[in-house]
Structures are given as structure tokens and as C-alpha cells.
Amino acid sequence: MNRDPEAWARLGQKLQQARLARGLKQSDIADEAGVSLASVQSAEAGSMPKSRMPITLPPIAAALGWKAGSVDAVLDGGEPITDSPGPAEWRDVSVQQQIDAEQLAGIMTNAMVRATEHATAAEIRAATRIALDELRKQGLIRETDGVQPSTISENR
């Protein structure tokens, strides 16, 4: 196990950055990972464990979309392993390509849960923006440069 306190601090920062980039709360990650809120807080604090790698780290990393081996990669000074492209790595996606239903459901569910208790129309629009932003971050839809497609149907 890596015993470098700076490596553990870096891991905590990367975990927090990944969570914030997804617009999630620590409790969201705890629920998704099936671990306690204290485990997420401890992981993000970047404290070096006393004796062994915490068993809660892999599920937390997985809940953030990190692949197996990411925790060790970050502790060794690298980056987490993900399927998500970075901003400079946009990819063209065929119109016929379907987004993984589970992935889309997770994105939409997280957005709606955060924004819809006793929701107003403005709050629902905000939730939709959150979901679209996450889909853009995942590289599943393109940026629109402020131009939105028409919502008026041609077949009225």
C-alpha cells in the first residue's frame, strides 16, 4: 500500500473533483456506492489509512465512473481510468447509436432527484439543464453554442 501522504491527499482531491464535476453531493455517492457518508468524507479528506487500503474506495471510485485500478493509478501520480472523454476528446456519435439505458437513467435520475421536490417549472428546466450538461460532459451530445433546436413539430 502506498504510504505517501501527498498521494492520498491527491486521491482525495481527485475524488472530490470527480464528484463535483458530476454535480453530486457526498451523500449521492455514498448511496450509489453502498457505503457510509463518513466513508466518502474520509476518502475525499485524503487521509492516509493506518494499515490497509480501505475496502470502501473501489465502490466510491466506481460510483464516480472510475474503472478498476484507478485508485492505484492516482496514488501513483496518474489519472483515474474512465470511459468519459475529456473536453479535448469529443467524439462523433452516430444518430442511430443508443445511449446505454442504465447510464442515461442514472444521469436523468440524479438530475431530477436534485431538482424536483415540490418542483416549479423553472426548477424542472434547471434539472433538464443539469442532465444535458452531464450528457455533454460524457461526450454523448454536442455543445450547441447557445443555439437550441426548434421544439415546434413540422407535422401539426
Q: Which residue has the cell 450547441?
A: 144
Asked whether the predicted pLDDT for residue 5 surpasses 60, the reply is yes
150 pLDDT band, cuts 50/70/90, is very low
CB 1 within 8 A of CB 49: yes
- d(Cα 24, Cα 31) in Å, to the nearest integer? 11
Q: What is the pLDDT of residue 98?
A: 52
pLDDT one-digit tens code per residue, 13-56? 999 999 998 899 999 999 999 999 999 999 999 988 887 888 99
SS3 content of the chain, % helix, strand, coil (to 5): 55, 0, 45
The C-alpha cell at 55 is 475496502
- d(Cα 107, Cα 100) in Å, to the nearest integer? 11
Q: What is the pLDDT of residue 156?
A: 42
Q: How far apart are the first and last CA of the chain?
A: 64
Q: What is the pLDDT of residue 143?
A: 63
Average pLDDT along the chain: 77
pTM here is 0.54
pLDDT one-digit tens code per residue, 64-100? 999 988 898 898 888 898 875 544 444 555 544 556 5
Of 107, 128, 106, whose CA–CA distance to 116 is shortest?
128
